[in-house]
A and B are shown apart, each in its own frame.
Chain A
């Protein structure tokens, strides 16, 4: 699902509510798996890619990814990409020995995306995933998101750019100016 809307219309806020950082004023967020069980919090089964990349400049890319790989490992048997495969998948194989801080903003963003591939989470919450990226990377991300959907994953992305995805629903958030509430439903 793609969230669109003007600046300040609440796209990021909605994502942060789903991720459990903010308490919703009304309503609740629940996660129901394919077996109908609701015993896990939505934040536990989600990847969150915010405006910041959650990678350390001082560590190498491989160390960063290796850390998130083992830290985010939830013991499930779901297959995950190796560090080098994830780097290849975002089009930057072979430079994982460099410190993260050496990279350009676009490359950093790509590796932040690679973080989603090294640990399995069925839900991806993406906040402006394609900021600072070239058109080539847009296509790459669209392909990766499509791949995730094919494996049965859910993607919730707030974005201004058309991601070039097929099979998406759009939730357009109206701004609150004029006391108008957001419109829900695609």
Chain B
């Protein structure tokens, strides 16, 4: 299992891996917004957390369709399915590797992009913290979509569409917790705890559903 984790990490940073694509996309989305919105610094800092969250969400979804499809294309998926280890564990390990390779860099890059949006320290810290807590949920939800669409030749967009409604709660609570950090009356903790609950919930449901979908993909 540890071998699988490190193999997936290696694959994602080598040629054709998705790690760099995601972070470049994130950068592009967030950097373009100030040009579109104009130089109103107050407005930028007000919409900052939301823009950073939306950018991270879309960037995280970008590479997810390849999570199982790449394995299927070269026949590795068959071998992963055959083993004694429960498939759920294999899926979890793949999700964790995918999150480490693609979403963790987004979390690390988010403070820099927060500066572009004229966010203050509290908002930047809160956005980074909520992304750290919320982005695993996106990966686990995306794994289900990826598993369902594994046999489809152009499943990329389909995966995003299938998965997007489920990621909306994560987005809502992530952004509201980020706002609460620097706007006084709103409390930070309740939305943040719900965000963590969502992540834990999908960490259980997601891999189980993905494993079920993979088992029933007969080709």
Contacts and interface: CB of A to CB of B under 8 A. Distances in A.
A47 B15 CA distance: 29
A59 B11 contact: yes
Interface string B190-219: 000000000000000000000000000010
Interface string A37-54: 000110110101011111
Contacts of A40: 84
A67 interface: yes
A20 B75 contact: no
A42 to B, nearest CB: 9
Size class of A's contact patch? 20 to 34
B82 A56 contact: no
B152 interface: no
Interface of A: 19-22, 40-41, 43-44, 46, 48, 50-59, 63, 66-68, 70-72, 74
Given A50-B78, A55-B74, A44 B83 contact: yes
Contact of A21 (B73, B84, B218): B218
- Interface residues of A, dominant DSSP: loop
B15 A58 contact: yes
Interface of B: 1-4, 7, 10-11, 14-17, 73-76, 78-79, 81-84, 218
A63 B13 CA distance: 15
Contact of B75 (A44, A50, A67, A74): A50
Contacts of A52: 73-75
A73 B5 CA distance: 15
Contact of A66 (B3, B16, B78): B3
Q: Specify which of B16, B17, B74 lies most central, judged by the most chain A CB atoms within 10 Å of its CB.
A: B74
A20 to B, nearest CB: 6
Contacts of A70: 2-3
A46 B82 contact: yes
A60 B29 CA distance: 35
A58 B74 contact: no
B81 A56 contact: no
Given A53-B74, A54-B74, A71-B3, A59 B14 contact: yes
Contacts of B10: 58-59, 63
Contacts of A59: 7, 10-11, 14
Nearest to A67: B7
A22 B81 contact: no
A9 to B, nearest CB: 18
